[in-house]
Structures are given as C-alpha cells and as structure tokens.
Structure 1
C-alpha cells in the first residue's frame, strides 16, 4: 500500500496555557452561528408546513391525501436537515455540562423540534372526521414513522461539552507537547501521532488528517482513543530525553 499523506486541517479552537478551559476560535464561533441560523430556518419552514397541513389541508373535504403525504415527507426532510446542521454547530461550539438545562436543550433540540413539527399533526389526522379509517391509518402511520426516524437523527447520543474538549486537549498537550492529534475519515476516534497502526489502516482516500482536538471533533470524531498508554509508547512520547553530557576529560 502506498504511504499515506498527512493533511493539516484548519484550527477551530483550543485551550490556552493561561486558561485551561477550551474555547472555540472566532471563525468556529461564526461558522457554528451560521449553521444554527440555517437549521432554525429549516425548522421554521417545517413548522410552517405543519401549520398549513393542520389549518388548511385537514379542513378540506375531501382531504388531499397525496399532498398530505408529500407534506409529511418534506417536513421530515427539513427536520433532519436542521438536526444535522445543529449537531455540526454543537461540535464547533459545544455547551458546558455545568449548565444542565442548556446542555440538554442545546444537544437534543433537533429531536424536540421534530416532535413539535409532527405530534400535533398526527393527533389531528387521527381525530379528523372527514378522513376514512384507512386514510387515517395511512397518513397517521406514515407521520409516526417519519417522526420517529427524524427524532432519532436529532438525538445526540454522545453530546460534546467544553469540559470534554478541555480535558482531552490538556491530556494531549501533556503527552505530545502541543494540541495536535491525528485521525482518518472513516475512524470514530482520534490518535496521538501518525505512526500508530489505527491511522495507517487501508482507507479510500489514503489520507491521515491532523489538527487540534477541536478540529477532530468538528470532523465528526467522538473522542480521544482509549489506547492512550499504548499509543504513547508507539509514538515514542514515553522515552525520556537523554540529559546532555556535561562531564569533561581530566587533563
């Protein structure tokens, strides 16, 4: 296999020596804000379509089933798109675990918005007097399936936090001497150097990426490898630097 190339990605944030608490760079903060605004716009459109379906479509007799099904699918796609962008924003600018309420809401907002965008519509479909039982079963069942699928995408099962970023950054800096880690596109975790076997496995793009801990999280990596001790040895970071020989030969 050809030797892998190493690519350094743009930094999104780090912890400073004067302040061990991790902070995003201004560029990362700006990007996360843009992602959140786009996600909010997608969610607003989804809830707007839900309102149209409730106050317009379901009040028609007969109900246009084709349009109702199309609206359910489109609302689901908008909810999923917003959730994915919101998750990306959270990896660039995570919340702190010390603020429990904000931490929960910020990381699970995609699932919350999805339920808001679907649950009232599903209930009113099932209560609609102008729809047959077969129509209710079709539209209500499809709505429930799309809601569950979109909500599952919106849930962040392993949400990032500033505490996690700070701890990992400080641990890496203590071992490596700087905030620098390595990962591959297909991997779930990041590593201490480009020599370790995990990043040298065969991959489609044949590329090892390097950057800060925050860069790795922004690339979708969940955490630092659990094999820190093993990789410390493989990378040679546990080898003490020999002291200079200050002795002099006797005349």
Structure 2
C-alpha cells in the first residue's frame, strides 16, 4: 500500500454485541436466490419494537381522521383552525410511523421471493397515508357546512400533509435479504473474512480503512472496524456502491475483485466455498458436432472468485 493510501484516522474496534449462533446461518439455495444473511434475534427484536410503535402511531392517526370526519365535520359551525390543527397532527403521526416502519425494514428486511409480501411490507406507509387522507379530502370538499374559504384553507393543509405522508411512506430503494446476502458474500470474497469499516457520520460500510470516502468523512476522527452485523447495528445497513474503486484502494488483486463484483452487480454471487455461481447459458453446454460427424460434448467453464 502506497503512502497516499495509508489511513490518516485512528481505527477502533467496534463494541461486541450479544450474538446468537443462528444470526449467520447459511441456507443452501440456487445461485439466484442464495440467502447467507439473516437478521440476528437482537435485530429482529429492535425491528419489531419499531413496527409496534409505527402501528400505534398509524392507529392514532386513523382514529383522529374518523373523529374529524364524524364529529367535527358534522357540526353546523366548523372550527377551521381546530380542524387544521387536527389534520397537522394526523400528518405528523402518519409521517413518524412511516419513518419508523422504513427503519425497521432496513434492520430486518423482507425476502424478494415473496413478491406480494415484499411489496406490501415496503409500501405499507404509503397505503396508510392514502387511508388517512383520501377519505378526509373527500369529506372536506363535499361538506355542506363549510364555505368556500374554509374548504380552501382546510383542503390545502390536508393536501400538503397527505403529500408529505405519502412521500415518506413510499420506499423506492427497498432493502432485501437477498441484497444484504450479496453484500456479505462480496465482503467475504474480497476481504477473506467478515470485516468492514465505517465512521459515525457515514451511511454505508466500506472494505478497508484506507478508502478515500472514509478519510473524507469529517464527523468523526475515528474509523470503526467490525463485522457486518455490528456495522448494521450502527446504522450502516449496506455496502458502498463504489466497491471497484475501493477494491483498488485497498490493494485487492484485480483478478479477485473483477469477476466477484460482476456477479455481485448481477445478484448471483455465492458465498465463498458454496456451489452457487453465475448461471450458465444453456447454449454453452450444448453438444457440438465435429467435422467428421462425431459429437464432442463441451465442458462448463466457471470463473473462480475465491483466489
């Protein structure tokens, strides 16, 4: 490693956390669906607590919505600012619940295999936002007890809160067990062990302490080293996307990282020592006919990503 690559920050060991033997259980599956990462019991418990709180907040938001619709909107004279205040509270409850729900999905993500559950689990916050505000908006604009000015004020606030709640509830970059497994497999291929690096101010974990992104992150003078589980417990849930650049900065041999990163990007990288490899094109394994009419069976060639 050159002098320019030597780390300038102090490297500290991450604090150990209680760990169950089942937290890193490997499941043998096909190349496209191999899952080698699983949330630990501690991570599952933390995610469950976030989900419980999110549900409580969402139920409170829906309860206030029904109160506004069936109590406040039924009065002959509607208190505009009371209704506006209640709508703001509904939005705040929905948004906070969605933020906690999304956080729980990063800690304990769903598997992409069950597409319906994966979609519902990751977009549930958006569904709740629609349920909390669309009926409310309908009753605002069809209410006969409000004049045009009242409908305009309450309607604008409701639309704004709905937009904020819906935007917060939509997950456009959903985490999955398969993604976390691919990240873990790549780290094992490139580093040879479950060891990654991060800082307090960063949002992802990295391959080694010498990478430029770690040296630039200014919120901490320390670089933490630990396992992937420890990095995720610290809020760094995924591997950086600059893996090719970092592999070079870490001094990893190009013959090791090139094919591994290609398979990681395709989502087909198996764990070191497993039989999972990139799926073979059927045409590559078909029989080839020689000039004299004899059939010469071709052999499957696979890339070795463990060197």
Pairwise TM-score range, normalised by the shorter structure: 0.7 to 0.9
Aligned in 2, Cα 1:47/1:201: closer, same or farther, shift over 3 Å?
same
Two-structure CA RMSD over aligned residues (Å) = 2.5
Name the counterpart of 1:173.
Answer: 188
Q: 1:8 aligns with which of 1, 6, 14?
A: 14
SS at match of 2:188: helix
Residue pair 1:181, 1:190 contacting (<8 A) in 2 also: yes
Return the match for 2:109 from 91, 94, 99.
Answer: 94
Change (3 A) 1:5 1:61: farther
8 A contact 1:88–1:218 mirrored in 2: no
Corresponding residue SS for 1:51: helix
Partner Cα separation in structure 2 for residue 166 and residue 110 of structure 1? 25
* Equivalence map 1:109-148=2 (5 Å): 109-148=124-163
Decide which of 34, 40, 44 is 2:55's aligned counterpart.
40
Q: Which runs of 5+ in 2 are unaligned?
A: 1-7, 29-34, 256-307
Check whether the contact 2:14–2:230 (CA below 8 A) recurs between aligned residues: no
Between stretches 32-41 and 231-240, larger displacement belongs to 231-240
**Larger mean Cα displacement after TM superposition, 133-142 or 204-213:** 204-213
Instruction: Quote how far apart the aligned CAs of 1:154 are.
Output: 1.4
* Aligned pairs, number: 240
* TM-score normalised by length of structure 2: 0.71
1:66 paired with 2:81, answer yes
> Structure 1 length normalisation: TM-score?
0.86
Tell me which of the two structures has the higher relative contact order, counting C-alpha pairs closer than 8 angstroms and 6 or more residues apart.
Answer: 1
2:82, 2:134 → 1: CA distance?
18
Contact kept, 8 Å, 1:7 with 1:207, in 2: the verdict is no
Partners of 1:150 and 1:106 lie apart in 2 by 16
